[in-house]
C-alpha cells in the first residue's frame, strides 16, 4: 500500500541499491539500460586505478552498489586487468560517474570524484612511465612556474598518449595555464548544467601539489562538453593558495 510519498529517482536508487547489497534483488534489476559503446577508450590500468580508489573511499559494498547502478556488475570482484590496452569504454566511464551522482547527489558525487582524482594521481605516479618521470621534480631548483609547466604537460601527455582522451595545455602568461579536454570520458553522451569532469580536476590538483613540493593551487572547471561547450577546460592559477 502506498503511503502517498512520491519517491524521487535518487531515493528509489538508494533503496534499490541497499536491497541489491543485501541480496534481495539480483544485480541485473539495477542499473541503466544497455548503452551503445563510444568506440573511445581509457587504458585498463587507469580504469582499474579509479575503481580501486573508489573501493578505498566507499568500501567494497559501496563500490559494488555503484558498479551495479552503472550497469557494470560484471566488474564486481573482477576489476579491469592491470595493463595498458585501450579497452575501458568512455561510455562505461561516464556511466560510473553518473551512478555516483545518482546515488550520492551532485554535491556528494563531486566530493567523491575530487578525492578519487587526487588519489588516482598518487597511485598512477608509480604505474605510468610518463608520471614516474615527475618523481624527481619536487627536489629540483627549478622555478615554480617551470615545475608547474613540466607537471601539467606530463599529466596531459599520459592521457593523450595512452588513451583516447585528447588533452592539451595552453600557457596564458604569468598567472594561469589552461588544460583542455577535446574528448572527455566523463561526458560521453551526457548533458549537464555544470562541468562534470571533476575527477580530472582532482587529478590535476594532486599533481600540482606533488610537483610544487606540497603547495595547493586553484583549479577551476570553466567549460565542459556535457554543457554543450566545444571543449572542456580546467583553468590552473599559478599563484599558490593557503
Q: Assign 32 a pLDDT band (cuts: 50, 70, 90).
A: very low
Instruction: Show the cell assigned to 88.
Output: 575501458
Query: Do 48 and 80 contact (CB within 8 A), yes or no?
Result: yes
Q: Where are the alpha helices (DSSP H) in 70-183?
A: 90-124, 129-132, 144-162
The pLDDT value recorded for residue 30 is 34
The predicted pLDDT at position 129 comes to 78
Query: Any idea which of 3-12, 54-63, 182-191, 192-201 has the lowest mean pLDDT?
Result: 3-12
Which helix (H) or strand (E) covers residue 41, if one does?
Answer: strand 41-43
- Mean per-residue pLDDT over the chain, rounded: 86
| Of 35 and 164, more confident | 164
Helix 90-124 / helix 44-69 crossing angle, nearest 10 deg: 120
Length of the chain: 242
The model's pTM: 0.85
Residue whose entry in the numeric block shows the C-alpha cell 554543457: 227
- Domains of the chain, start order: 9-116 (no CATH), 124-237 (3.30.1380.20)
Tell me the C-alpha distance between 164 and 159, whole Å: 7
Q: Please tell me the predicted confidence (pLDDT) of residue 12.
A: 47
User: Would you place residue 136 in the very low, low, confident or very high pLDDT band (cuts 50, 70, 90)?
Assistant: confident
pLDDT at 28 over 90: no
Give alpha helix (H) positions in the chain. Answer: 9-21, 44-69, 90-124, 129-132, 144-162, 198-211
Closest CA to 54 of 106, 10, 97, 3: 97
Query: Where does residue 228 rank: exposed (0-12), middle (13-18), buried (19+ CB within 10 A)?
Result: exposed
Amino acid at each position: 500500500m502506498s503511503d502517498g510519498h512520491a519517491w524521487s529517482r535518487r531515493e528509489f536508487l538508494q533503496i534499490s541499491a541497499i536491497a541489491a547489497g543485501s541480496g534481495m534483488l539480483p544485480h541485473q534489476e539495477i542499473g541503466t539500460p544497455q548503452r551503445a559503446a563510444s568506440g573511445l577508450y581509457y587504458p585498463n590500468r587507469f580504469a582499474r586505478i579509479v575503481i580501486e580508489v573508489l573501493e578505498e573511499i566507499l568500501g567494497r559494498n559501496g563500490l559494488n552498489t555503484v558498479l551495479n547502478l552503472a550497469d557494470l556488475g560484471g566488474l564486481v570482484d573482477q576489476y579491469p586487468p592491470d595493463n595498458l590496452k585501450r579497452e575501458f569504454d568512455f561510455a562505461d566511464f561516464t556511466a560510473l560517474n553518473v551512478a555516483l551522482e545518482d546515488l550520492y547527489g551532485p554535491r556528494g558525487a563531486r566530493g567523491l570524484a575530487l578525492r578519487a582524482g587526487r588519489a588516482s594521481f598518487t597511485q598512477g605516479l608509480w604505474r605510468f612511465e610518463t608520471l614516474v618521470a615527475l618523481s624527481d621534480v619536487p627536489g629540483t631548483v627549478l622555478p615554480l612556474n617551470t615545475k608547474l609547466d613540466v607537471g601539467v604537460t606530463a599529466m596531459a601527455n599520459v592521457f593523450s598518449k595512452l588513451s583516447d582522451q585528447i588533452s592539451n595545455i595552453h600557457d596564458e602568461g604569468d598567472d594561469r595555464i589552461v588544460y583542455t579536454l577535446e574528448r572527455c570520458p566523463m561526458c560521453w553522451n551526457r548533458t549537464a548544467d555544470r562541468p562534470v569532469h571533476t575527477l580530472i580536476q582532482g587529478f590535476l590538483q594532486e599533481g600540482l601539489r606533488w610537483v610544487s613540493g606540497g603547495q595547493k593551487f586553484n583549479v577551476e572547471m570553466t567549460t565542459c562538453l556535457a554543457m554543450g561547450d566545444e571543449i572542456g577546460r580546467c583553468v590552473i592559477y599559478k599563484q599558490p593558495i593557503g
